[in-house]
Amino acid sequence: MASTKNVRNGEAGLTMEDLAKLAGVSKITVSRALRNSPLVTEETRQKVQQIASEQGYRLNVSARNLRMGRSYSVAVVVEMTPARGRPMSDPYPLELLGGITQELTTAGYSVVLTSKQLLDTAPVQGADGLILLGQGSHGEAVTALKQTGLPLVVWGAPEAGSDTIVVGSDNRKGGFSAAQRFLEQGRKKLVFLGDVDHAEVQERCAGFIDGMGGQGSVHIMRPKAFTFEAGFDCISALLKKKGQVCDGVFAASDLLAMGAIRALAEKNLRVPEIVSVIGYDDTPGAASFVPPLTSVHQYLRDGGVLLAKKMLDLMNGQPVASEVLPTTLMVRQT
DSSP 201-240: HHHHHHHHHHHHTT-SEEEEE--SS-SHHHHHHHHHHHHH
Q: What is the DSSP string of 95-128?
A: HHHHHHHHHHHHTT-EEEEE-GGGTTSHHHHT-S
Q: What is the mean pLDDT of residues 73-79?
A: 90
Is the pLDDT at 305 greater than 60, yes or no?
Answer: yes
Please report the pLDDT score of residue 39 as a whole number.
81
Per-residue pLDDT tens digits for 221-244: 999 889 999 999 999 999 998 877
Please report the pLDDT score of residue 125 as a whole number.
80
Please report the pLDDT score of residue 295 as a whole number.
98
